[in-house]
Amino acid sequence: MTTRILLVTTCLVVVLSGLTLAAGPEIDVPIDLQARWETWDSPSGNPDLESDFDYWKLRARMGLDLKWEHWNLHGVLQGASGHGLHENAAFGIGKVYVDANDGDTDPSMVGIAEASVGYRSERFRMTLGRQGWKEGLEILTGVPHLDQVKKVRLSERLVGTWDWTNVGRRYDGFTFGVDFGAADLSGLALRPLAGGVNYIDAFEQLDDLNLYGLTLTGRYGKWIPSGELRLFGLYYDDGRPGAVAAAGGDIKITTLGASLLLGNERRDLMLWTAFQRGDWGPIDQEAWAFIVEGGYSFPDAPASPGIRVGIAQASGGDRAADTHGTFFNLLPTNHKFYGSIDFSAFSNLQDIYLLVLLKPGAKSSARLGLHTFALDDTRDAWWGGAGAFDEERLGYLIRRPAEGDTFSSDSLGYEFDAQFNYSFKLGFGLGAGLAFFNGGRAAEDVLVESSNGTWGWIQVTWKG
């Protein structure tokens, strides 16, 4: 479905539904501007590649929302560009940007990121057209602390907008939700679009990739005291050339799982698990993953500190086995979870972590994180990436030892992250971050020149 067809469909649905335009809609024109500078001293597996480099990313989004009592028309026009990307970058997402754009070190794009019609009544909601989608954020709990946990720590584990990248990820299709009082049922039928790190094909449909899903959520306090339970199912059907080349055939995976969020305004416990069955090309997919994470906040203490600890583990598998045991991460926003330096995907991974959250003032916040990474199975690979961004690539990097078939250790190393944000008047914001990765023996098997890396960034935003 092209953008033109999406826009025509949007208009027809509104007209055929008998929308009364005489009263006139509420009009909103949001603007979101962003400029980010990133600098790297990256790990390296090749002495001929460059470890020290930096680049700029710019992005502008202008939206238009027309809102009636039940209906709304929504659109977002986006322009984005990268400047000074390094064509010989040794490692990290800087290299991925260049490879995804046919070697262009100054790529750019302009396109329609979102174009949809929405309907909402007391019990029913739906969106048809081009949209973002964040799995895990179908509804909120109504408890501010828990809703923040849902937004930052639960949503987008398997399906997300990947907006940390300059282009982001969007979908064409249909989403809906039905409120049954104590429970909420939501569903999706979506086709992902090119994007993320890919400028040259941004917002073109990935014709051979489709995603379907249903989620049943027991509202906070209704099924479980002081808790919310989600049951979800996702079906991922991928026949793109990149997927076929990686798997030896189409990838057709059903993911069934559940999440449980317990807590109140000070404390929370999040449990998440998923199981996968299906086809990885010619062999069966059989994989699993789980997350256990808890947090406690001290709102009355100086800087209102919060502490979070957790473990996230996704299965790996022997490449020689007659089943594919590696958990497949689908279409996530991994930048939020497994270290901000983005070296690992949620496949064949164990991540044990400690996060410290601070709020020194009403307009400032900071986060410190420590991660220790390990492989679940040393016979598998070190996976990186965040899912499909064009037709020709799987969307994941599958890194194996430079010598031999098996890693010498399960230790990938550890990562330390620090991030600070400040909001100024008139919609301006400033963010900065620093991450240091110290590679373990498994990382050294891949990164034979240097397994350590440092990444820093500064970002200025304006929203109006």
Q: Per residue in 53-75, pLDDT tens? A: 999 999 999 999 999 999 999 99
Per-residue pLDDT of 369-394, as tens digits, reads: 999 999 999 999 999 999 999 999 99
For residue 362, being part of any structural domain is answered with no
Residue 69 is part of a domain; what is its CATH number? 2.40.160
At 134, list the tokens: 């964040």
Residue 107, pLDDT score: 96
In a domain, 406, yes or no: no
Q: 359: exposed, middle or buried (C-beta count within 10 Å: 0-12, 13-18, 19+)?
A: middle
261 pLDDT above the threshold of 50: yes
Judge whether residue 347 has pLDDT over 70: yes
Q: Is residue 353 part of a domain?
A: no
Question: CA-based diameter of the chain, in Å?
Answer: 71
Q: How far apart are CA 329 and CA 327, in angstroms?
A: 6
Taking CA atoms, 135 is separated from 76, 205, 216, 220, in Å, by 21, 20, 12, 17
φ, ψ of residue 145 to 5 degrees: the values are -65, -45
Is residue 456 domain-resident?
yes
Q: Could you tell me the two tokens for 221?
A: 């306090």
Question: What does the pLDDT read at residue 95?
Answer: 86
Q: Which residue has the tokens 């069934």?
A: 256
pLDDT at residue 20 is higher than 50: no
Q: Which domain holds residue 86?
A: 3-19+27-293+318-342+386-400+417-463
307 strand-pairing partners: 296, 356
What pLDDT score was predicted for residue 193?
Answer: 98
Q: Is the per-residue pLDDT at 1 higher than 90?
A: no
- Report pLDDT digits (tens) over 390-406: 999 999 999 999 998 99
Domain for residue 122, yes or no?
yes
Residues 6+ apart with CB under 8 A from 260: 224, 227, 228, 229, 230, 269, 270, 271, 272
pLDDT of amino acid 16: 42
Residue 154 in any domain: the answer is yes
Q: Cα–chain-centroid distance for residue 247?
A: 22
* 148-180 confidence digits (pLDDT tens): 999 999 999 999 999 999 999 999 999 999 999
When divided into structural domains, the chain yields a total of 1
Residues 169 and 187: their CA atoms lie apart, in Å, by 19
- Determine, yes or no, domain membership for 363: no
Tell me how far CA of residue 260 lies from CA of 181, 277, 287, 434, in angstroms: 18, 22, 20, 32
Q: Write the CB contacts of 401 (distance below 8 Å, at least 6 apart in sequence).
A: 407, 408, 445, 446
For the cut 80, the answer to whether the pLDDT of residue 312 exceeds it is yes
CB burial of 208-238 (b: ≥16 within 10 Å; e: otherwise) equals bbbbebebbbbbbebeeebbbbbebebbbbb
Q: Is the pLDDT of residue 17 over 80?
A: no
pTM for the predicted model, two decimal places: 0.93
Predicted pLDDT of residue 56 = 96
The whole-number pLDDT of residue 34 equals: 98
Q: With cut-offs at 50, 70 and 90, classify the pLDDT of residue 7.
A: very low
Residue 101 has pLDDT above 70, yes or no: yes
What is the rounded CA–CA span in Å between residue 257 and residue 232?
Answer: 5
pLDDT-above-70 percentage for the chain = 95
Structural domain includes residue 52:
yes
pLDDT of residue 140: 97
* pLDDT surpassing 70 at residue 6: no
Between CA 152 and CA 434, with CA 376 as vertex, the angle to 5 degrees is 40
Q: How far apart (Å, rounded) are the C-alpha atoms in residues 246 and 387?
A: 13
Task: Give me the count of residues in the chain.
Answer: 464
DSSP bridge pairs for 275: 256, 288
**The pLDDT of residue 440 is above 80:** yes
